[in-house]
Chain A
Amino acid sequence: MKRLLLAVGLMLAMTGITRAETINILMETVPDTQFIKDLLPEFKAATGIDVEIEAISYIDMHSKLVPQLTTPSGGYDAIVVDFYWVAEFTKAGWLMPLDDLIKQDNVDTSVYVPSLMSLVGTVNGVTYMLPFYNYSMGIIYRKDLLADSKEQEAFKAKYGTDLKIPVTWAEYRQQVEFFTRDTDGDGNRDFYGTINQGQRGDCICMQWSNYLYANGGQYHDANWKATFNNEAGLKAIEDFKQDIAEHGPTGSESFCFDEANSVFAQGKAYSFVTFNILLSGFDDPASSTVVGKADIAPNPIGGLNGGWGWAIPNSSPNKDAAWTFIKWVESKDIVKKRTLAGGAPTQAWVFDDPDVVAKRPYMDKLKTLVATAQEFPTFTYTVDFVEVLGRELNLAVTGQKDAKEALDLAASELDALAKKDGLLKE
């Protein structure tokens, strides 16, 4: 009996020793998630902690996260937070403030690009997140076509100006028109100047925001009174509709970024306004026919800013291990490795790092893109507002509703939500 007890005791002790710590993280299926997955063996070697990354598509993330965050002990030790959710998650008290840990371990948060630290780092002076990656939007275009001397001559002959990286919205839209073509002469265009992502919901909101900013519009004034139902907003809808009807592929009203991405990857378009993180994917011969031909340019008046931050939910079962992971993943060495692999960094120094620049010569453009990017209304009800705006924009773009009516309804909804959140005062 004694022997048996001893054996059982030994076995238990051994399992205690050999059982590795594991942390669970929910992430989106994007290139940066893959780059982190590839680096995980280094973390395991350094700390002995296993990391289980559950990668799912964006549309499922919010509804999967919320139930986990509302329970006292959730399923995720660390999470990544989209800027859409920052105000909601912090107001609901789901995220743990990181200031004490940052102070205790001397983590330098001044390395981050200020606009990203304010987007997915701090809320009202409290640090809840460390910025992870940025997905600010810009114009991805075909550099081979832009540099083609025949194209340049034809463009000059038609518009009287040089074909070059556009510095104004009007110039970009001239290029969009110029490159839209019917290459096989069957009467239907088959090479597109641009590709829109017009699907109802988040997809159309994100891309249309670039059209709004480019036309000089803003979502709200300093007092959170909605302002986008003005001339700029109407012009943005008009441009968007025209691009779908005259310069883009059939059915872009139902596209999200992946559909638009495939059209560009198949070499069927000159350009599209999209997330900068997609650029490195076009150099992968397995999924792209335009390897070495794609480049990125900042939106003329600054595109939509976007980013994700690392956070530890209050429902995290293992906060210490989660913090160890976040410190590691945001350490200079790992950030550099992720950027070299094609990732989208949030720390300012990486954009100028000689090794990174040598491998990715367009880093200076990404730096401008991030620095000039503009913020979508981020408040407690961002997700709710996106749904309303997405529906109204899609109704207007598909011709089911007058553009002014649609914008007015979305604007009144933004006012109502901002009032509910205490931002808009009467």
Chain B
Amino acid sequence: MATVAVSKISEIDRRDRRFGWLLTAPGLASLTLVITFPLFFTVFVSGFDYTLLHRSFDTFIGIENYRSAFAENYFGEALWVTLKFVVAVVALEFLIGFTVALMLNSVGRFKDIYYLILLMPLLINPVVVALIWRMFLHPELGIVNYLLGLVGIAKVNWLGDPVIAFWTVVLTDIWHQVSFMIVLLLAGLSALPKEPYEAARMDGASTLQSFIHVTLPLMRPVIVVTLLIRLIFAVKTFDLVYVMTRGGPGTATDLISYFIYRSAFFGLDIGQASAISVLLLVIVLALTAYLYRYMRSLA
């Protein structure tokens, strides 16, 4: 009797599992099609002398595309600019985002209105954001320099000065993306349990102490995920520099994604562009793994 029951359960189990596979099959198939295939194809192409003028896989050149990428003028520069950019936007957006999220968390009234205002930039297409800001920041006819002029500040060369242009792009990115941080962190904050705070207050902890010893440790998983996602997106930033600066002045805002784009569509060298993309993927994966493990170890 017992054996019959067990086999019945396992039969149901098997059917469940089969049904589960059946349901996930379309999803898995499309994932393979749109993610795994292009990924492996990119790795494959990076080993060949494959250009848009000569589209064939008849010349296998091994790691030559990787070697030639490093030999390109200003490739190291683009990597360095990308690193600076990613650190700047992720760090600043986190600081601003967390501060605003903490402030909003204690707000009771008009929360929806604040949400709406904060979310608006995030809903705008990055190309549109870049175009809007390029117009606002026109040194001669833009509204920003006009307003600064009213209070006696000389015209700022927003996009023509190498140092200022870098920070202009960083600030535009912050304007556009900071709400992403706010929304995610705020979701984490509002889900925190009340009890630890009450206990901390009973023990006489100050606001700062309960922030450091209660909020931060509890928020750690949310912070890790938020930083990770933002970091990955920041490495891929393309639209802003493409529209606002084209990597200039000089190489001041020459991000690696734009470098890859030029290699593929101006240099027509799909092999080399694929090689740099693979390198970028490896770097992002390594960064992600490191950050994830580091944060886990803290917990």
Contact = CB atoms under 8 A, between A and B. Distances in A.
Interface of A: 59, 62-63, 66, 70, 88, 91-92, 188, 198-201, 203, 249-255, 259, 262-263, 266, 268, 380, 383-384, 386-388, 391, 394-395, 398, 400-401, 409
Nearest to A62: B265
A395 to B, nearest CB: 4
A151 to B, nearest CB: 23
B272 to A, nearest CB: 12
A105 B97 CA distance: 67
A251 B251 contact: no
Given A63-B265, A250-B160, A200 B249 contact: yes
Interface of A is mostly: helix
Given A66-B265, A383-B266, A384-B267, A251 B157 contact: yes
A59 B238 CA distance: 14
B155 A250 contact: yes
A400 B250 contact: yes
Nearest to A388: B73
B248 A200 contact: yes
Given A62-B265, A387-B266, A400-B162, A92 B248 contact: no
B117 to A, nearest CB: 30
A276 to B, nearest CB: 23
Contacts of A254: 157-160, 165, 245, 248-249
B126 interface: no
B261 interface: yes
A75 to B, nearest CB: 17
Nearest to B141: A262
A398 B261 contact: no
Binding site secondary structure of chain B: loop
Contacts of A386: 266
A268 B140 contact: yes
Interface string B127-160: 0000000000011110000000000001111111
A199 B53 contact: no
A92 B157 CA distance: 42
Residue of B74, B139, B250, B265 with most partner-chain A CB within 10 A: B250
12 contacts: A59-B246, A188-B154, A188-B155, A250-B156, A251-B155, A251-B157, A253-B161, A259-B138, A262-B138, A380-B53, A383-B268, A386-B266
A251 B250 contact: no
The 3 closest A-B pairs by CB, nearest first: A200-B248, A251-B139, A253-B160
B160 A251 contact: yes
Nearest to B165: A254
Contacts of A387: 262, 266-267
B271 interface: no
Nearest to A204: B248
Q: Which of A62, A249, A380 counts the most chain B CB atoms within 10 A?
A: A249
Contacts of A394: 248-250
A391 B74 contact: yes
B261 A63 contact: yes
A395 B155 CA distance: 22
Contacts of B138: 251, 259, 262
A91 B160 contact: no
A391 B267 CA distance: 14
A201 B139 contact: no
B265 A401 contact: no
B52 interface: yes
B52 A395 contact: no
A310 to B, nearest CB: 22
A251 B159 contact: yes
Contacts of B158: 251, 254
Interface in B60-89: 73-74
A215 B174 CA distance: 44
Contacts of B251: 391, 395, 400
B165 A88 contact: no
A157 B54 CA distance: 63
Given A200-B250, A250-B157, A383-B266, A66 B52 contact: yes
A391 B72 CA distance: 13
Given A88-B53, A254-B165, A384-B268, A401 B250 contact: yes
Contacts of B161: 253, 398
B15 interface: no
A384 B160 CA distance: 23
A354 to B, nearest CB: 40
B17 interface: no
A198 B267 contact: no
A388 B74 CA distance: 11
Given A66-B268, A254-B160, A266-B140, 16 more contacts: A66-B52, A70-B52, A91-B53, A92-B53, A198-B160, A200-B245, A249-B140, A251-B139, A253-B161, A254-B159, A254-B245, A262-B140, A263-B141, A391-B248, A395-B250, A398-B161
A384 B266 contact: yes
Contacts of A263: 140-141
Given A66-B265, A250-B157, A391 B53 contact: no
B293 interface: no
Contacts of B139: 249-251
